[in-house]
Amino acid sequence: MGERDAAAAVEETIQRYNDAWNAQDVDAIVSFHAPGMVFENHTAGERVEGDAVGPHIAEIFRNWP
């Protein structure tokens, strides 16, 4: 893969990730991360890890549609 191809792949991945957030697609968001991920919402002072991340993000979307 050439440098331009790699850059395009990164840009596509970033776009898919942003699209998942904009669609509030929790499963898609979580699929971009490793199983033991840590999610920190610095604005709200919240921190969750692993399997608790998906439900936490879903709650954010319920509270802030």
pLDDT digits (tens, 9 = 90+) for 2-60: 778 889 999 999 999 999 999 999 999 999 999 999 999 999 899 999 999 999 999 99
Contact criterion met (CB below 8 Å) for 33 and 53: yes
Q: What distance separates the 2 farthest-apart alpha carbons in the chain? A: 43
Per-residue confidence band for 1, with pLDDT thresholds at 50, 70 and 90: low
For residue 50, the 8-state DSSP code is G
- Residue 33: strand, helix, or coil: coil
- Block residue for tokens 């191809």: 5
Tell me the C-alpha distance between 33 and 36, whole Å: 8
pTM of the predicted model, to two decimals? 0.83
